[in-house]
Amino acid sequence: MKFSDLSADVIDDLLTFIPDFSTLSAALLTSKQQVYTVFQSRPKSILARVLEENSQAVRTIENFFSFRYKDQASPISRLEPIESSRFRRALYRLWLVLRENSVIPPISLANSLEMAGLDSVPAMYTEDFFKDEFEKIIRARKVDEKTWSERHDKAILNRATERQDQCHRCHAVCGVNLWGASNWSILKGYFSRGEMVNLFPGNLTRNAVEMNAFNVYFEQNPQIDDRMLIEQLMALDVDESGVWAKDKWYCLECVKELFRLRYWKWWLEKKRQDGVTIEEDCWYGYNCRTQRHAQPHAQRLNHLCMPTRGTGPN
């Protein structure tokens, strides 16, 4: 039997088993005379089935959206009924517009979240999926900046009920843009490992010997995630940055300050704990310029220390 011999009812049944809009779109384009005609005669039932197939994905993505923008303490959606309705309606519309042209298919994001939890979310998802792709549509529709600024804050969430939480350290009011024990797992989307190490003081990041040992350590200890790393930084001896509490919330700038002041000290402590011989301190400490180009010097002296001579790095 040829495909052209299939009845409208059989084609309708086949279309209801299609798992997503991209596949449905492709199927409709393959046969405008037969398949598309069947779709036109009963679009609601076919679309309803495709939406049903993707309802779990939508629920998963809503949980993540709520976790990031509504309540960082809850992995389950805390959106109010009207907010949930707005979010799902917007997501389905975005899904239809993007289809196979999306660089970040919604179903892929949902699968990533379901298989490995929030830790599995690549950095691109935390910003691009909810911002960059949507802004492409806004630009294409020529929505002016004034209209965008007036409407986007109220598009999904009731901003009147937004939390006014403060950073525990600097007391800046940041609302949901605070970081703590429950959401360290998605910090990498806003503050990457590369950005963290770039906060090493002086010329340390230009010391090839030190950076090679540092990179090898993380390759051999993949269990050290952001949560574990930050908790260990907070547990170091009190310094000029004061006391850091694991159960408090901090703004991103204060989190960066924690790394700026303590990350290099943490690395020195890890080397000691692993039994690495710590050589005599270089007089010029982390500001030493010679460590940048002289490997024997970088190997012979320790540069994870405060300078006792010289000026700042160049």
Q: What is the pLDDT along the chain (314 residues), one digit of tens a residue?
A: 676 777 888 777 777 676 666 677 777 777 767 777 777 777 777 777 766 667 777 888 888 888 888 888 888 899 999 999 888 888 877 776 665 454 455 666 666 665 545 554 544 444 455 566 667 777 787 878 777 777 766 778 886 555 688 999 999 998 888 999 988 988 887 898 999 999 999 999 999 999 999 999 999 999 999 999 999 999 998 777 788 999 999 999 999 999 999 999 999 999 999 999 999 999 999 999 999 999 999 999 999 999 998 776 66
Instruction: Assess if residue 210 is contained within a domain.
Output: yes
Distance CA(251)–CA(174), nearest Å, equals 7
Query: Which of the listed residues 97, 129, 162 is the one where a domain comes to its end?
Result: 162
In a domain, 176, yes or no: no
Does residue 213 share a domain with residue 148? no
**Bridge partner residues of 281 (DSSP):** 302
Claim to verify: residue 67 and residue 43 sit in the same structural domain: no
* Same domain as 194, residue 289: yes
Contact 193, 180 (CB under 8 A): no
- Co-location of 236 and 151 in the same domain: no
> How many angstroms separate the CA atoms of 96 and 114, rounded?
22
Tokens read off for 178: 């605070």
Together in a domain, 192 and 136: no
Domain-located, residue 83: yes
Give the pair of three-digit tokens for residue 71: 């309540």
Q: Could you tell me if 38 and 19 lie in one domain?
A: yes
For residue 33, what are the domain limits?
A: 1-53
pTM here is: 0.70
As a whole number of angstroms, the distance between CA 46 and CA 40 comes to 10
- How far is residue 274's CA from residue 276's CA, in Å, rounded to a whole number? 6
Token look-up 């086949």 returns 14
Q: Are residues 43 and 69 in the same domain?
A: no
pLDDT reported for residue 55: 75
Strand partners, 242: 239
Local structure of 68: helix, strand or coil: helix
Q: Which of 129, 162, 195 is the last residue of a domain?
A: 162
**Residue 28 within any structural domain of the chain:** yes
Number of domains in the chain: 3
Please check whether residues 134 and 79 belong to one and the same domain.
Answer: yes
Q: Does residue 294 share a domain with residue 193?
A: yes
CA atoms within a 13 Å half-sphere pointing along the CA-CB vector of 58: 19
Residue 299 corresponds to which tokens in the numbers above?
Answer: 């190997």
DSSP 127: I
Residues 233 and 266 in one domain: yes
Any domain includes 173 = no
Residue at 312 is within a domain: no
Q: Are residues 18 and 84 in the same domain?
A: no
pLDDT at 123: 44
Which one of 33, 53, 73 terminates a domain? Answer: 53
Residues 85 and 136 both lie in one domain: yes
